[in-house]
Amino acid sequence: MPFSYVLEPLQIHNLSSVLEHWRVDGLEFLRVDVPKIIVIVILAFVLIRLMKVVINRLLAFSRHEGGVRAQQLRTAAGVIGSAGTFVVIFLALMQILPVLGVNMGPLLASAGVAGLAIGFGAQTLVHDVINGFFILLENQYAVGDVVRVAGVKGTVEAMGMRNTTLRDDDGTVHIVPNSEIKIVSNLTRDWAQLALHISVAYNEDSDRVVKLLTQLAEDLRNDPAFHDDIVADPQVPGIERVASGEVDYLLLVKTLPGRQYRVTRELRRRIKECFQKNNIQAGNPARVYVLEGAPGANPAP
């Protein structure tokens, strides 16, 4: 006989009751829960848009500002944008999931365990990011600065949240993780000072040497080609060291950041010409050793 299935009146009543409960729950969800979700989504969208407006203003300011601070501003804008968007979306989900009936207790416990495991496995990465953020926030250095960090000295070519890229004098590129940066020595912040030690023969008149060096440094500052590079009057404090056969004189000059190298080279050139013109004998003169007899010759009987 063919298979047939006939719903009993009780089954029909139960099915109608279930459908009625679904209808009531759906209407309750649409009336109460959906407006809450819509409000949360709208608030999250508004916050993200406001954040993007701030970031765009920051990027526009970096383009207008230019120079060594532009890279810092762009990096900070990218970090704030990505981190801020993540935080807003995370908080919005934490508000929406309970409305949908999701029990947040087990979910948060699982997230805590997973976060703990990830934290143990990525401690260095987290340290890099945190240290990089504070480097940017505190403006410890910028692109174009000459710095000494983690035992490496060079010009900052790029800055990121994880590492800093330096290029030293011979062209070698050093990528330094931000977590390794404990002490920052910025050699080009505000002003730089060069200290020249000029070695002169011991028998030269000290007052005359100091006067010549002072005049030479003042002439360099008054030179239009170097006037803008030197930010203060040069100083010749006097004798720095006395050794056998020579005396060292100290010359101090404050310059703009990064300009001390060309000023140093020009000073050395002028000092050489000045000493030649005024018959000043430089220190550490060449020594001539005289040997008795030619090499390999038999000694006289």
Instruction: Name residue 256's amino acid.
Output: L
**Beta carbons of 272 and 216 less than 8 angstroms apart:** no
Q: How far apart are CA 70 and CA 64, in angstroms?
A: 9
Residue 32, C-beta contacts closer than 8 angstroms, at least 6 positions apart: none
Residue 188, C-beta contacts closer than 8 angstroms, at least 6 positions apart: 144, 145, 146, 147, 257, 258
Q: Which of 116, 117, 119, 94 is nearest to 105 (CA)?
A: 94
Q: How far apart are CA 271 and CA 16, in angstroms?
A: 106
Q: What percentage of the chain reaches a pLDDT higher than 70?
A: 74
Distances (CA, A) of 129 to 59, 126, 135, 137, 297: 21, 5, 10, 12, 72
The pLDDT value given to residue 69: 63
Across the strands, what pairs with 254? 193
The pLDDT value given to residue 64: 72
**Which CATH architecture is the domain 9-121 placed in?**
Orthogonal Bundle (1.10)
Pick the CATH number of 141-186 from 2.30.30.60, 1.10.132.20, 2.30.30.230, 3.40.120.10: 2.30.30.60
Does the structural domain 192-277 have CATH classification 2.40.128.720? Answer: no
Mapped onto helix, strand or coil, the DSSP state of residue 257 is: coil
> pLDDT digit string (tens) for 245-288?
899 999 999 999 888 889 999 999 999 999 999 999 988 754 44
Domain borders along the chain are 9-121, 141-186, 192-277
The whole-model pTM stands at 0.56
Mapped onto helix, strand or coil, the DSSP state of residue 12 is: helix
The neighbour count for residue 5, using CB atoms within 10 Å, is 4
Q: Which of 151, 160, 171, 154 is nearest to 258 (CA)?
A: 154
Q: Is 219 a residue whose pLDDT tops 90?
A: yes
Q: Is 300 a residue whose pLDDT tops 50?
A: no
The least confident of 6-10, 17-21, 28-32 is 6-10
Do 9-121 and 192-277 share a fold? no
The pLDDT value given to residue 275: 94
The pLDDT value given to residue 291: 41
Enclosing H/E stretch for 63: helix 34-65
Instruction: Name residue 156's amino acid.
Output: V
SS3 assignment for 212-240: HHHHHHHHHHHCCCCCCCECCCCEEEEEE
The pLDDT value given to residue 117: 60
